[in-house]
Structure 1
């Protein structure tokens, strides 16, 4: 394999194979362009591209990973995945469905019948026009973001997104709140305390009483749904979520660098989360500034270098995590419910399909700038991040176009 490393303008790139220098130069130029000079521009980035066979095509890192230690971003730097982690939660649920944990109905089982929440809490989970429709929510609805539930991270009972003032993120970014608070998913002892947990906030702020739609009627992206799924995984798996991820996903695939932040941390991590790559909110550094991302959890709590994400996708698509090939086929049986907007063209079970100039991609993105996507036609997989909250646009699209040329014999 032809290997060439280069350092230019803060870029550390490794061209791996391909037809020659031209395509590698194009990929290096794209990687270098991910890091900008403006206050709201990404300050660091990493991208890795592989064939589905496992052969690496390109890997590059650019910029400064940490403003406090001045450490450079490298291919080995761990970064926060945000919602890319939902793929892990979906994997756990589908593994349990294969094992019969939800009975004959599998993922069409009703969430309310699986014993995760008490009856009085369940009755406040989803009301539409004053009517309790929570008993109609199935695991399939939760996995496809069609439950009708609001997203406690960015929505509140009055507004959608923003983040809304009474949402979890809206509160943390506002005055008078503790940005370093360590969040848990759910505290059943204090269901009315909005600070007790993510689901507590959802209930206490009346989000469940202002349901968006009946289950199955529309698409609305909801982290709340994946909090419920992770709680269900813990109940059925009889172990903490981070232990299930490690035992059922990381160990089988050899993902030595993947862990669930704030739950399964390496011992070397301190309060500022170094050496994890910094996450920026505009000009504001979150991790080194003491901002806790612990609320992500089952909806977005995993961390790893890019290499572990490409391996995760290859293991998932290659059938290494399921008993039956049909389970991955079910994950990628796309539906297009009302409310699903471009570039998304389909939602599966914890996965999305999007249209891009080269065709279509399967995978997931995260709000902290992370990406894990596959071009199934060209058999290419990409993982990486720009470590910038709500990073602008599909930064990974041009890499797939350039990598398609690089991958040609």
Structure 2
């Protein structure tokens, strides 16, 4: 793979030419460069990174700083926490087990985890595996009820999956399973426990064996209790109040998110993963169709949710399939079109980003996937 780096329009462009393809830092991806520049120059984001890939090769664009104390840029080839993009990996493993006849999508979770989901109207006998993967279980969001303050105050604390689930089950169910939509990390804590029950092994081992190794995703990991991020990586920052100086929360215990959001990856790895998933290389046709049966979520941007996979309309026409993710220090959006284009965008500030940051992330993904 050939690499060349050029500073263009306030953003640093790294051209990755693979398989005989090339990309021009001088004329290509102007919209993406501008979106990243605005993220770091106008939206208050310390640093941003994007990698867009098509059949001719890949281009990495970076802007801003990866370390506020040192004033150094976001490193090329950065690893970062991907937050809820983890859910797509978890859902893919569950759907592989469905394809193998080891899990029934429409069976109640009670069949696999008897007696675990009980309390305040929450009942595992009524919640199916499909409900969990599509956030249509009615389970309250454990993250919402734990509160960001708890995670910020105790960033290195180990948390058991059942402890995370407890934050959800302590509250009344939100609706009868299948009759509404509510994004809830508890659904994917249960999905991780389901994988462990069916395989008899840690869920992270299933992710590594079934997805990371076959796709050669060497920059991607399921860290468990490991607080650090393998180099190279930017620092991760957060704000708990508007106007506050960003605080460094690079080191956290990712068990706070577990199967719903603990993973670490790189932009090229995420692009490769979503290309393989959308391209039908990870799931059998029936399970991929089920995953892509996306339904409205009420999102004003028109995004719909399938089973661990979002369908997002593009302003230039068409759509992409992917996921977004937030965790202490980082916010990410990654996805792929069926036409063979993939993009991942990361910023190193979450929570506490401005609305301009949120809008800028979506604009960067749109610019990457729509092209110039």
TM-score (norm 1): 0.78
Change (3 A) 1:398 1:37: closer
Map Cα deviations across residues 117-171 of structure 1 (whole Å, 9 max, x no partner). Answer: 5x2x4322x51xxxx64311001100110100111101x3xxxxxxxxxx24243
Task: Give the match's secondary structure for 1:259.
Answer: coil
Partner of 2:242: none
1:12 paired with 2:15, answer: no
How far apart, in 2, do the equivalents of 1:172 and 1:405 lie?
A: 38
Partner of 2:50: 47
2:315–2:366 contact (8 Å) kept in structure 1: no
How far apart, in 2, do the equivalents of 1:294 and 1:36 lie?
A: 33
1:250–1:258 contact (8 Å) kept in structure 2: yes
Map Cα deviations across residues 358-392 of structure 1 (whole Å, 9 max, x no partner). Answer: 2322210112310112233x432101201221543
CA positional deviation for 1:18: 5.1
Task: Give the match's secondary structure for 1:304.
Answer: strand
Higher relative strand content:
2
1:181 paired with 2:181, answer: no
1:81–1:366 contact (8 Å) kept in structure 2: yes
Pick one of 29, 35, 40 that aligns with 1:30. 35
Change (3 A) 1:344 1:144: farther
1:361 paired with 2:320, answer: yes
How far apart, in 2, do the equivalents of 1:402 and 1:180 lie?
A: 35
CA positional deviation for 1:313: 0.6
1:278 paired with 2:235, answer: yes
Task: Give the match's secondary structure for 2:213.
Answer: helix
How far apart, in 1, do the equivalents of 2:322 and 2:369 lie?
A: 17
How far apart, in 1, do the equivalents of 2:368 and 2:111 lie?
A: 49
Give runs of aligned pairs for residues 148-297 of structure 1, distance below 5 A. 148-154=138-144, 156=145, 167-173=146-152, 177-186=153-162, 197-203=163-169, 206-207=170-171, 210-263=172-225, 275-282=232-239, 283-288=245-250, 290-297=251-258
Task: Give the match's secondary structure for 2:214.
Answer: helix
TM-score (norm 2): 0.85
Unaligned runs of 5+ in 1: 157-166, 187-196
Change (3 A) 1:169 1:398: closer
Partner of 1:162: none
How far apart, in 1, do the equivalents of 2:368 and 2:233 lie?
A: 28
Change (3 A) 1:35 1:238: same
How far apart, in 2, do the equivalents of 1:101 and 1:35 lie?
A: 47
Task: Give the match's secondary structure for 1:136.
Answer: coil
Structure with the greater alpha carbon radius of gyration: 1
Partner of 1:147: 137
How far apart, in 2, do the equivalents of 1:171 and 1:258 lie?
A: 27
Change (3 A) 1:236 1:384: same
How far apart, in 1, do the equivalents of 2:249 and 2:87 lie?
A: 21
Unaligned runs of 5+ in 2: 240-244
Pick one of 244, 269, 285 that aligns with 1:308. 269
1:80–1:277 contact (8 Å) kept in structure 2: no
Q: What is the root-mean-square deviation of aligned Cα atoms in Å?
A: 2.7
